[in-house]
C-alpha cells in the first residue's frame, strides 16, 4: 500500500529531524497560514526529505521549484483535512486498526513486527497511528465531496459494458440446442396463433425441466432435429445471426425464446459454455432509517432519536416501516419503509457496509454514523445471485467512475485552493 509507505517515511523523517535539531522552536516556526490552520517548517522539511529519498538527485526540480511544489502539496492536504473536519469525518480506532493490519499484511509481517520496525526507525507508535489516521481522513473527505460531483449516464455504462462484453466473448464457445416450429409468412391467423401457442407451451415445458432432445425430436422442423436439436459447439461469429442476437450474457442452462424469424418460431437452450466466467455474489435485502445532523441537531441528538425508535420497535409501539416513512432523511428509501432492495454491500460506504455484513438476518443494528448521518439498519434476507451481466455493468461503471473521479478530484482541489485564505509568513529556507 504505497500511500501508507509514504506516510511511514514522512513520519520517520519528521521524528528524526526533531530529535537531532538543536533548536526545535526554530524548526517548528509557522511558514504558511491556511484558513484557520498552519503549516510548520518541520512539515516542509519532512516532505522534502521524503521526496528526496524516493527520487534520484537528477530527477528533482530546481530548489525554488521543489520548495514551492512541497508547499503546494501541504496546503492542499491541510485544506482537505479542514474539509474533513467540516464534514464531521472521524476515523475511529476500529477502522484505523484495520488499515494498519492491511499495511502489515501487504508487507507480509505481523502488526507486532511492523511496530518493532517503526521503533527501530525512531518512530513512536502514536506518531505512526496519527499519520495513518490523517491519510485515511483526507481520502474520506475527497471521496465524499468528489463523488457528489460525478454524473454517469446509464447510456455511458451500457455502451462501455457492451464493448467490454464483446471483447470477453471473442473466445467463448456455446453448446446450443434448437427447436424450430415452421410457419409460412402467408399463413392464416388461426395457424399463426396455434404455432405461437405451441412454441410458448414447449418453452414452458423446457423451463420445467423437460428433456430438450426429446421435445426437439418430436416437434422441431429445424436442420438438427434428428440430432435432438444439437448444434454442437459454436462461437458467436459461427452461429446464425438470429441465435447470436439472443445470447447476450446468458449462461449455461438458459432457455431463450420463443422468438420469431421469417421461417417460424425458435427456442434455444445453452446446454453448456466454455470460456465464460460466471459471477455469483451475495445480495442483501436491508432497510434503514437515516437521521442527518444539522445546526439544531447534534450527533448526540441524532443518536438519541434512533435509540428511542429502537425502543419503540422492540416494544411493538411502532414498526420499522412506519418510522422510516415518517422520519428517515433518505427520500429514496423512506417512501418504501426504508427498504434498500436487493444489493451487494460493495455499493455502500465503508461503515454501512461493515455493519450490514456483520449483522445477522432479522436483527436491527445499534445506531452508527457514516458520512451521510446516523443510521439504524436491519438485514431482512440474503441470497446468492448470478451477477455475470451485472458484474460487467459494474466493471464498466467503475472504469467510468475512476476516469471521472480523477478529473473531478483535480477540479475540486483547484476550487478548494482558489477559495482558501493562504498567507506565507516566512521563508522555508531561513535558518
Do residues 352 and 375 make contact, with C-beta atoms less than 8 angstroms apart? yes
Q: Is the pLDDT of residue 58 over 70?
A: no
Q: Is the pLDDT of residue 430 over 70?
A: no
pTM tops 0.75, yes or no: no
Closest among 66, 78, 79, 54 to 3, alpha carbons compared? 54
- Rounded distance, CA 178 to CA 173, Å? 16
C-alpha to C-alpha distance for 320 and 312, rounded to whole angstroms: 9
Rounded-to-10 torsion of CA 317, 320, 321, 322: 40
Does pLDDT of 431 surpass 80?
A: no
Q: What is the pLDDT of residue 3?
A: 47
**Region 250-267: what's the mean pLDDT?**
92
Instruction: Indicate the pLDDT class of residue 42, thresholds 50, 70 and 90.
Output: confident
Query: In the chain, what are the domains?
Result: 2-149+419-424 (1.10.4030.10), 171-274 (3.10.50.40), 280-386 (3.10.50.40)
- Cell triple for 177: 440446442
**Residue 313 forms beta bridges with which residues?**
none
Taking the alpha carbons of 261, 267, 273, 277 in that order, is the dihedral positive or negative?
Answer: positive
Look at strands 339-343 and 368-370 and give their pairing: unpaired
> Can you name the residues that pair with 378 across neighbouring β-strands?
287, 364
Stretch (H or E) spanning 167 = helix 154-168
pLDDT, tens digit (0-9, with 9 covering 90-100), for 284-330: 999 999 999 999 999 999 999 999 999 999 999 999 999 999 999 99
User: What's the mean pLDDT when you consider all of the chain?
Assistant: 86
Cα-Cα-Cα-Cα torsion 132, 138, 142, 143, nearest 10 degrees, comes to 30
Amino acid at each position: 500500500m504505497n500511500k501508507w509507505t509514504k506516510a511511514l517515511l514522512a513520519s520517520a523523517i519528521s521524528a528524526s529531524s526533531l530529535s537531532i535539531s538543536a533548536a526545535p522552536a526554530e524548526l517548528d516556526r509557522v511558514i504558511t497560514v491556511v484558513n484557520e490552520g498552519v503549516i510548520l517548517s518541520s512539515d516542509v522539511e519532512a516532505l522534502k526529505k521524503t521526496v528526496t529519498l524516493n527520487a534520484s538527485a537528477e530527477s528533482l526540480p530546481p530548489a525554488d521549484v521543489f520548495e514551492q511544489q512541497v508547499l503546494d502539496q501541504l496546503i492542499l492536504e491541510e485544506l482537505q483535512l479542514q474539509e474533513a473536519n467540516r464534514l464531521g469525518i472521524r476515523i475511529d480506532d476500529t477502522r484505523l486498526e484495520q488499515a494498519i493490519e492491511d499495511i502489515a499484511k501487504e508487507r507480509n509481517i505481523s502488526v507486532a513486527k511492523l511496530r518493532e520496525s517503526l521503533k527501530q526507525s525512531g518512530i513512536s507508535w502514536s506518531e505512526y497511528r496519527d499519520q495513518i489516521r490523517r491519510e485515511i481522513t483526507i481520502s474520506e473527505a475527497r471521496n465524499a465531496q468528489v463523488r457528489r460531483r460525478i454524473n454517469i449516464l446509464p447510456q455511458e455504462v451500457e455502451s462501455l459494458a457492451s464493448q467490454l462484453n464483446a471483447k470477453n466473448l471473442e473466445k467463448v464457445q456455446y453448446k446450443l440446442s434448437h427447436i424450430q416450429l415452421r410457419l409460412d409468412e402467408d399463413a392464416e391467423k388461426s395457424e399463426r396463433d396455434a404455432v405461437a401457442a405451441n412454441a410458448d407451451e414447449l418453452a414452458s415445458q423446457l423451463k420445467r425441466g423437460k428433456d430438450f432432445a426429446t421435445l426437439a425430436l418430436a416437434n422441431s422442423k429445424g436442420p438438427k432435429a434428428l440430432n435432438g436439436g444439437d448444434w454442437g459447439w459454436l462461437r458467436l461469429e459461427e452461429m446464425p445471426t438470429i441465435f447470436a442476437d439472443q445470447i447476450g450474457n446468458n449462461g449455461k442452462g438458459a432457455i431463450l425464446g420463443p422468438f420469431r424469424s421469417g421461417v417460424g418460431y425458435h427456442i434455444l437452450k445453452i446446454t453448456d459454455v466454455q470460456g465464460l466466467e460466471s459471477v455469483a455474489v451475495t445480495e442483501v435485502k436491508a432497510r434503514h432509517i437515516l437521521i442527518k445532523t444539522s445546526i439544531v441537531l447534534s450527533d448526540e441528538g441524532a443518536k438519541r432519536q434512533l435509540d428511542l425508535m429502537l425502543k419503540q420497535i422492540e416494544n411493538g409501539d411502532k414498526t420499522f416501516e412506519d418510522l422510516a416513512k415518517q422520519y428517515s432523511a433518505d427520500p429514496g428509501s423512506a417512501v418504501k419503509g426504508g427498504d434498500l432492495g436487493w444489493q451487494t454491500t460493495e455499493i455502500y460506504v465503508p461503515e454501512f457496509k461493515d455493519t450490514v455484513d456483520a449483522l445477522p438476518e432479522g436483527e436491527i443494528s445499534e445506531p452508527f454514523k457514516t458520512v451521510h448521518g446516523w443510521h439504524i439498519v436491519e438485514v431482512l434476507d440474503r441470497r446468492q445471485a448470478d451477477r455475470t451481466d451485472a458484474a460487467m455493468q459494474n466493471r464498466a461503471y467503475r472504469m467510468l467512475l475512476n476516469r471521472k473521479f480523477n478529473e473531478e478530484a483535480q477540479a475540486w482541489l483547484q476550487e478548494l485552493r482558489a477559495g482558501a485564505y493562504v498567507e506565507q509568513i516566512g521563508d522555508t529556507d531561513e535558518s
